[in-house]
């Protein structure tokens, strides 16, 4: 299908939104499995926190290494076929993870997660700019908010599903493993527990492969990146990427945002366990963060752009993140965990605002600019790993505060000023490439 420029006819626009919404649901479900998977691998593979947190580290590092190759793939395949390819790669990764986790080969399980992340990097490199340029850039945050609702509903369901299918009775099992009379009995218990992950991931692999076929055969149109040229400038007037500072500031902003999002979502169980809260409770804490994010998306959907601009909403969200981080440090137990979960509300509208602000006016650079922004997702690998490393030497609440507060302050800077740095020149300057 030949590329078309937004805006699309209303009926075609709605159909496209539904299809992209399904994709956001899928990668929301897959992404937010990482939190309960940390709990799963700690027991199944007998790991400490540092090694268990290789789960989000490997998953999010795949974005760093594969987002730019994804942009090159998309230039050859187009966004539609690229999304189908991303889903198929994710299916392969789910199959590898399920098989290796079942037989308790941890490097193989991590390889499966890396492959899933590779597919997601391709999918996100296509889907995020697609939804951003499906309509006016000023309302992009509102459209991404709709996608975020799909994403976070899936994220809420993921810990519940894995908790019911795999992690049920984990406190009892943990005690039985500790009380096992022989090493053989202990290994038998752990192998039986690990095998519970096989069927859910096999089913996921089949579903992802079927979705790949559906997307490729769907009426989803190709959208040209030309529609993101901004202010009517021609593509050949777009300057080289080195002269677009708001893009690079946006990449750093997205890096820090994903870091704090993963800390509030995937690391909340480990954070709660720091207060000696039981595993049968902490395994659901990710769902609380996602519920708060869903509330934040609903608020953004109502307020942007009718009441607040996406820039102003981003600034308010960052300020709220600072306040809640300080509150988490100043409280204990369930109250502190509740403050961390409430960060989901503060985080909700950050991606929908940061991403379109970062790629605004890139024109012919939209695909590679999007890939650079998606590379920022690697922040989800770095901040949580720093957290588990540092909390071995310092109080975990102090480490949480030291990592989170500066990140939110930078996001506040980007919302107030950073997104405008050099943007006029990026739209108007002649190309020197």
Orientation angle between helical segments 366-375 and 106-132, nearest 10 degrees? 140
Q: What is the pLDDT of residue 99?
A: 97
Residue 431 domain flag: no
Count of CB atoms situated within 10 Å of the CB of 230: 18
Question: pLDDT (tens digit, 9 = 90+) per residue, 300-340?
Answer: 878 877 888 888 999 999 999 999 999 999 999 999 999 99
Q: What is the pLDDT of residue 430?
A: 37
Residue 373 parent element (H or E):
helix 366-375
Q: CATH number of the domain that 113 lies in?
A: 1.20.1250.20
Residue 59 domain flag: yes
Is 111 within 8 Å of 277 (Cβ atoms)? no
Is 121 within 8 Å of 66 (Cβ atoms)? yes
Residue 157 domain flag: yes
Residue 233 domain flag: no
Is 358 within 8 Å of 228 (Cβ atoms)? no
Residue 336 parent element (H or E):
helix 333-347
**Mean pLDDT, consecutive 10-residue segments, the chain of 433 residues?**
45 74 88 92 95 95 87 83 93 97 96 94 80 66 75 86 91 92 94 96 95 89 54 54 85 96 94 92 90 88 82 94 98 97 94 84 76 89 96 97 98 92 56 31
Residue 308 domain flag: yes
Is 236 within 8 Å of 242 (Cβ atoms)? no
CA angle 25, 32, 67 (to 5 degrees): 75
Residue 3 domain flag: no
The residue range of the domain holding 39 is 10-220+238-426
Which of 272, 278, 37 minimizes the C-alpha distance to 167?
Answer: 37
Total domains in the fold of the chain: 1
Residue 53, classed as helix, strand or coil, is coil
Distance from C-alpha of 206 to C-alpha of 228, rounded to nearest angstrom? 35
Is 36 within 8 Å of 170 (Cβ atoms)? no
Torsion angle in degrees (nearest 10) through CA of 355, 357, 362, 363 = 80
Q: What is the pLDDT of residue 3?
A: 42
Distance from C-alpha of 120 to C-alpha of 228, rounded to nearest angstrom? 23
Question: pLDDT (tens digit, 9 = 90+) per residue, 373-424?
Answer: 888 999 999 999 999 999 999 999 999 999 999 999 999 999 999 888 876 6
Residue 377, classed as helix, strand or coil, is helix
Q: What is the pLDDT of residue 74?
A: 82
Is 173 within 8 Å of 192 (Cβ atoms)? no
Residue 178, classed as helix, strand or coil, is helix
Q: What is the pLDDT of residue 232?
A: 42
- Phi and psi of 3, rounded to 5°? -60, 145
Distance from C-alpha of 260 to C-alpha of 317, rounded to nearest angstrom? 12
Distance from C-alpha of 62 to C-alpha of 30, rounded to nearest angstrom? 14
Residue 230 domain flag: no
H helices of 220-332, in order, are: 245-265, 268-273, 279-282, 285-303, 310-330
Q: Supply 47's token pair.
A: 């790991």
Residue 63 domain flag: yes
């Amino acid at each position: 299908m030949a590329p078309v420029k937004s805006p699309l006819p209303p009926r075609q626009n709605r159909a496209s939104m539904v299809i992209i919404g399904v994709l956001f649901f899928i990668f929301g479900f897959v992404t937010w499995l990482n939190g309960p998977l940390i709990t799963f691998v700690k027991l199944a593979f007998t790991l400490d926190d540092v090694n268990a947190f290789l789960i989000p580290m490997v998953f999010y590092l795949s974005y760093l290494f594969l987002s730019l190759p994804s942009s090159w793939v998309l230039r050859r395949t187009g966004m539609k076929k690229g999304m189908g390819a991303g889903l198929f790669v994710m299916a392969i990764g789910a199959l590898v993870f399920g098989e290796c986790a079942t037989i308790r080969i941890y490097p193989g399980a991590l390889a499966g997660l890396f492959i899933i992340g590779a597919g997601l990097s391709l999918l996100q490199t296509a889907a995020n700019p697609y939804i951003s340029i499906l309509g006016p850039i000023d309302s992009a945050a509102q459209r991404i908010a709709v996608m975020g609702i799909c994403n976070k509903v899936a994220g809420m369901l993921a810990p519940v599903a894995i908790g019911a299918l795999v992690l049920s009775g984990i406190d009892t099992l943990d005690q039985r493993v500790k009380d096992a009379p022989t090493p053989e009995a202990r290994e038998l218990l752990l192998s039986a527990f690990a095998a519970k992950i096989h069927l859910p991931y096999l089913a996921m692999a089949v579903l992802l492969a079927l979705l790949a076929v559906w997307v490729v055969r769907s009426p989803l149109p190709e959208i040209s990146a030309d529609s993101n040229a901004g202010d009517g400038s021609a593509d050949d007037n777009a300057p080289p990427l080195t002269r677009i500072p708001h893009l690079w500031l946006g990449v750093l902003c997205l890096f820090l945002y994903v870091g704090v999002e993963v800390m509030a979502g995937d690391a909340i169980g480990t954070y709660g366990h720091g207060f000696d809260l039981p595993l049968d409770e902490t395994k659901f804490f990710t769902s609380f963060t996602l519920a708060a994010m869903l509330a934040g998306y609903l608020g953004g959907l109502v307020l942007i752009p009718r009441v607040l601009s996406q820039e102003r909403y981003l600034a308010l969200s960052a300020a709220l993140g600072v306040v809640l981080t300080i509150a988490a440090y100043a409280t204990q137990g369930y109250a502190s965990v509740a403050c961390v979960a409430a960060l989901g509300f503060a985080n909700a509208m950050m991606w929908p605002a940061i991403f379109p602000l970062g790629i605004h006016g890139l024109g012919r650079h939209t695909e590679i600019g999007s890939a650079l922004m998606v590379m920022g997702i690697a922040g989800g690998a770095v901040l949580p790993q720093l957290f588990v490393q540092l909390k071995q030497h310092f109080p975990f609440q102090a480490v949480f505060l030291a990592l989170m507060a500066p990140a939110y302050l930078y996001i506040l800077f980007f919302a107030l000023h950073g997104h405008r740095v050099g943007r006029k020149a990026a739209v108007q300057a002649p190309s020197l490439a």
